[in-house]
Structure 1
Amino acid sequence: MVKIDDKALNYVHGKNLCFVVSIKKTSINCDCGNCNTDVKTPKVKVLFETEVWDKELYDIYKYQDVKIFVSKDLKVAGDINVYQKPKIPFFQPKFGIKGIQA
């Protein structure tokens, strides 16, 4: 089941925007034990649907005429919930997602 929070839905609804969920890789390097690792987390972007070039690389979900493109490299662990993070003044809103694992 897919759900989009009311604040996130109001931001994209009627503007031909969609959510794109991909993988963000962060490298962690520790000099103390010579430990190097990559941490993968899901990242949510808001784009116009025409800006999503390789649509075959995504699984497409729909909620109230808003599309959510989820990278096929990610695992759906339960219900997908897209929400808007607390807004910081003078910055664009940021979004998060629950129910998807890297």
Structure 2
Amino acid sequence: MLRIDDNAFNYAQSKSLCFVVSVKRSTVDCDCGNCKSSIRNIKIKVLYETEVLDKERYDIYKYQGVKVFLLKDLRVVGDINVYQKPKIPFMQPMFGVKGITAY
């Protein structure tokens, strides 16, 4: 089940935007043991639907007219919850997502 909190929903709906959830991979190098590790972080962006490239790579969910594009590489572990993080003055709103893991 998909849920978008009121602040995030109002922001996306008022500007005709959609949410795109994907994975950011980064490498961590440790000098102490000469080990390298790859870390996967989930990132969420707010875009116009026309800006979403390769739509076949995403599962599409809809919540009251607002679309959420979820990368097929991600695993849904519970209810998907998109929310707006606390707003910092003079910055664009930032969003988060719960109920998804990167494997």
What's the TM-score bracket when you normalise by the shorter of the two chains? Answer: over 0.9
Aligned residues: 102
C-alpha RMSD over aligned residues = 0.8
- Give the 5 Å matches for 1:48-63: 48-63=48-63
Residue in structure 2 matched with residue 31 of structure 1 by the alignment: 31
- Give the 5 Å matches for 1:60-71: 60-71=60-71
Q: Do residues 47 (structure 1) and 81 (structure 2) align?
A: no
Residue in structure 1 matched with residue 86 of structure 2 by the alignment: 86
Could you list the runs of 5+ residues in structure 2 that have no partner in the other structure?
none
Whole-Å Cα distance in 2 between the matches of residues 83 and 26 of structure 1?
24
What is the percent sequence identity of the aligned residues?
A: 66
Deviation at 1:26, TM superposition (A): 2.0
Q: What is the CA deviation profile of residues 40-90 of structure 1, one whole-angstrom value per residue up to 9, with x for unaligned ones?
A: 011000000011121100000000100000000111111000001111111
Q: Do residues 22 (structure 1) and 13 (structure 2) align?
A: no
Whole-Å Cα distance in 2 between the matches of residues 23 and 78 of structure 1?
18
Displacement over 6 Å in runs of 4+: none
Whole-Å Cα distance in 2 between the matches of residues 74 and 32 of structure 1?
32
Could you list the runs of 5+ residues in structure 1 that have no partner in the other structure?
none
Deviation at 1:14, TM superposition (A): 3.4
Match for 1:37: what amino acid?
Answer: S
